[in-house]
């Protein structure tokens, strides 16, 4: 049997190969395109190109990525909740030595504070641009007086 026949048999009714289906199943666990491609045996050099195509595989990967963005386990609130849960587990673990326990609790608290302040978590920033026109004249024919500070009146007009 030729390689072409094997490839056509490997395609499912969705238009995906067996490796592509495995990729879609494994990606939510790894959350890394290159590591997932390596794990299922897809060439790293081709994976980005395949995802960007308007093929069934590319469409499925982009749809999966959009679904993962809306998953509460992968957003800021879900991450903070997971850190609070870890903090509770460490507090309730009697086998941890106090020094180790307090160090872990401090590290978790630092991460929570960073995420609440938005240092690590993704944010949407709105940038507003304003154009300001400055009109004024300056007389370069006269020498400035060194001892006296002068104010130049500059009129401006804000544009919408």
Inter-residue contact 57 to 51 (CB < 8 Å): yes
99 within domain boundaries: yes
**How is residue 12 written in tokens?**
């499912």
85 and 41, same domain (yes or no): no
92 within domain boundaries: yes
pLDDT-derived band of residue 52, with 50, 70 and 90 as boundaries?
A: confident
13 and 58, same domain (yes or no): yes
32 and 79, same domain (yes or no): no
48 and 93, same domain (yes or no): no
Residue ranges making up the domain that contains 10:
3-70
Domain count, the chain: 2
91 and 38, same domain (yes or no): no
Least confident of 61-65, 132-136, 140-144: 140-144
Inter-residue contact 68 to 34 (CB < 8 Å): no
pLDDT above 80 for 28:
yes
106 and 78, same domain (yes or no): yes
46 within domain boundaries: yes
User: Would you state the pLDDT for residue 150?
Assistant: 64
* Helical (H) or strand (E) element with 102: helix 98-117
* Backbone torsion region of residue 97, taken as left when φ is above 0, otherwise alpha when ψ lies between -120 and 50, otherwise beta: beta
Tens-digit pLDDT profile for residues 96-138: 898 988 899 899 888 888 877 655 545 556 778 888 887 878 7
User: Would you state the pLDDT for residue 160?
Assistant: 46
* Backbone torsion region of residue 139, taken as left when φ is above 0, otherwise alpha when ψ lies between -120 and 50, otherwise beta: beta
77 and 61, same domain (yes or no): no
64 and 102, same domain (yes or no): no
126 within domain boundaries: no
Compute the Cα dihedral for 61, 63, 69, 71 and give only its sign.
negative
64 and 108, same domain (yes or no): no
- Residue-averaged pLDDT of the chain: 76
* Backbone torsion region of residue 41, taken as left when φ is above 0, otherwise alpha when ψ lies between -120 and 50, otherwise beta: left
32 and 80, same domain (yes or no): no
- 12-35 mean pLDDT: 81
The pTM of this model reads 0.43
7 within domain boundaries: yes
């Amino acid at each position: 049997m030729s390689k072409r026949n094997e490839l056509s048999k490997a395609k499912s009714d969705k238009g995906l190969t067996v490796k592509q289906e495995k990729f879609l199943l494994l990606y939510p666990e790894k959350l890394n395109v290159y590591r997932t491609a390596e794990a299922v045996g897809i060439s790293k050099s081709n994976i980005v190109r395949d995802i960007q195509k308007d093929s069934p595989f590319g469409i499925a990967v982009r749809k999966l990525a959009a679904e993962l963005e809306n998953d509460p386990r992968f957003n800021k609130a879900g991450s903070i909740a997971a850190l609070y849960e870890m903090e509770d587990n460490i507090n309730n673990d009697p086998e941890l030595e106090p020094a180790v326990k307090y160090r872990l609790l401090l590290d978790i608290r630092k991460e929570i504070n960073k995420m609440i302040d938005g240092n690590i978590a993704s944010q949407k920033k709105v940038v507003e641009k304003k154009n300001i026109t400055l009109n004024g004249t300056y007389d370069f024919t006269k020498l400035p007086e060194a001892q006296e500070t002068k104010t130049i009146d500059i009129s401006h007009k804000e544009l919408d």
